[in-house]
Structure 1
Amino acid sequence: MKKFLLFFTLITSMLFVGCDNIMPTFNEKTMETYKIPSKEVLTADESIKLLKEGNIRFLNDKSIVTNVSSERRNSLRNGQYPYAVVVSCSDSRVTPELIFNVGLGEIFDIRIAGNVVNSDALGSIEYAVSYLNSPLILVIGHENCGAVEAAYNNVKHNVKFQGNINSIIKKIKPSVKETNSLDEAIHKNVENVALEIKNSPIIKKLVEENKVAVKTAYYSLDGGVVIND
């Protein structure tokens, strides 16, 4: 009997050792969750700090699973308190939740090709800052933006497009006319969109009261985000 138990223990130990290479391992860092204040209103600077920290993790392939647990979902049942409104392009390579490594309830996401805004988008932004108390609006453009490139080709090379994309091109064209390169046009478009947002009477008042800040940013396709002061 003792020999059998010894043999069984040896075989079991060998099996577990062999499993080390095929079983996933988890540690506190893997499962780490950053606690975001639920009802406490952050400042714009604190919000930017959180976004920068998340992007550094993403850029360095250190993204973590954060704020997606059942506990987090249940905590958001009765309301949301996003600390940033992110206005970005619909481009599949530029997903705000991923590039900032955030979870549920952290950012209020507005996405239209070319990171432009219309009345519906502006209404959504106004809702976030007025009723959800988001202290930051971040307009982010990105490298090789297809929508800006379409507008650039339309203005500079008279390339024609069909369909509703022309309504987007129309909004971007003023930025293109002021520039001499695609990347310059992308940056200028971000600035003009931010200005359009600031000109909303509701947002303008909140900015003047120092309750909301409107910032611009640029995303490089290598993963890095530069947030402008």
Structure 2
Amino acid sequence: MNSRKRFIERRDFLKLGATGVFSLAIASSDLLWQVESTQAAELPSITQSLTPDAALQKLMEGNQRFVNHKPQYPDQSAARLQEVAQAQHPFVTILSCADSRVPAEIIFDQGIGDIFDVRIAGNIATPEALGSIEYAVALLGTPLLMVLGHERCGAVTAAVKNEALLGDIGTFVKAIKPVVKRAKLLSGDAVENAVVANVQYQIERLKRSRLLTEKLQSGKLKIVGGRYDLDTGSVTIIT
């Protein structure tokens, strides 16, 4: 009888221990997120000392190296990997299309930890994309935000042609349609006009964010648009 009682007590203790460990794991996870957020916001960084204009200059100089086939492949060493292993301080956030021909680190000749990439078809500012951008700007302190469209974008083309699409593909087309009427009023190619108009429209949507607006007003953030030329590799700034 005593042996059975000890067995039951031991079993209950193990259950309690397992529950405690599970609760501790949840609490530790929450604490880890808080610590990581604090580190991201507070750790000093050379890139965070860049002004928005200096960050844009650094980005565009990298694109010129790419266009001229003289890449430097910066920040891609083993030392850089260790340097950013515990905290990240990208100098630019880029909302770009998911198109395989527009990899930001390559076309701007940058490396690990330099660019906070948010990639989605049509470079649209969905709530999820906006949340990612706000994280980069508010917590990581990126001084520059670029919305990057590109030549012959498939998502923009589908929106202009108003094509019926399968599955959830039409969701990002729907997000681009508001710019189609605006683009068709202009002379020239409707798709190319829409590519530029879409970049401008997504920037307008981003500027509705309170977090981004505060950074803009304080002078700590610059938002620009860009158009990537698939044929030349050149990025043109859209005002």
Q: TM-score range by the shorter chain?
A: 0.7 to 0.9
**SS state at 2:62 partner:** helix
The sequence identity of aligned pairs, in percent, is 40
Equivalent in the alignment of 1:203: 212
Equivalent in the alignment of 1:169: 173
Equivalent in the alignment of 1:215: 224
Pairing of 1:1-229 with structure 2 (within 5 A): 38=46, 40-154=48-162, 159-180=163-184, 181-221=190-230, 222-229=232-239
Query: Matched residues in 1 for 2:192 and 2:145: separation?
Result: 22
CA drift at 1:40: 4.0
**SS state at 1:139 partner:** strand
Gaps of 5+ in 1: 1-36
Query: Matched residues in 2 for 1:95 and 1:211: separation?
Result: 26
More helix by share: 2
CA drift at 1:152: 0.6
Question: Which TM-score applies when normalising by structure 1?
Answer: 0.80
**SS state at 1:68 partner:** coil
**SS state at 2:146 partner:** strand
Amino acid at match of 1:193: Q
Query: Matched residues in 2 for 1:120 and 1:151: separation?
Result: 21
- Say how many residue pairs are matched: 189
Gaps of 5+ in 2: 1-44, 185-189
CA drift at 1:39: 5.6
CA drift at 1:64: 2.2
Amino acid at match of 1:115: N
Amino acid at match of 2:229: S
Equivalent in the alignment of 1:22: none
Amino acid at match of 2:110: V
Which aligned segments of 4 or more residues in structure 1 are displaced greater than 4 angstroms? none
Query: Matched residues in 2 for 1:73 and 1:211: separation?
Result: 27
Q: Comparing 219-228 with 92-101, which one deviates more in the overlay?
A: 219-228
The RMSD of aligned alpha carbons is 1.2
Amino acid at match of 2:126: N
Query: Matched residues in 1 for 2:71 and 2:218: separation?
Result: 35
Amino acid at match of 2:124: V
Query: Matched residues in 1 for 2:128 and 2:49: separation?
Result: 25
Question: Which TM-score applies when normalising by structure 2?
Answer: 0.77
Equivalent in the alignment of 1:28: none
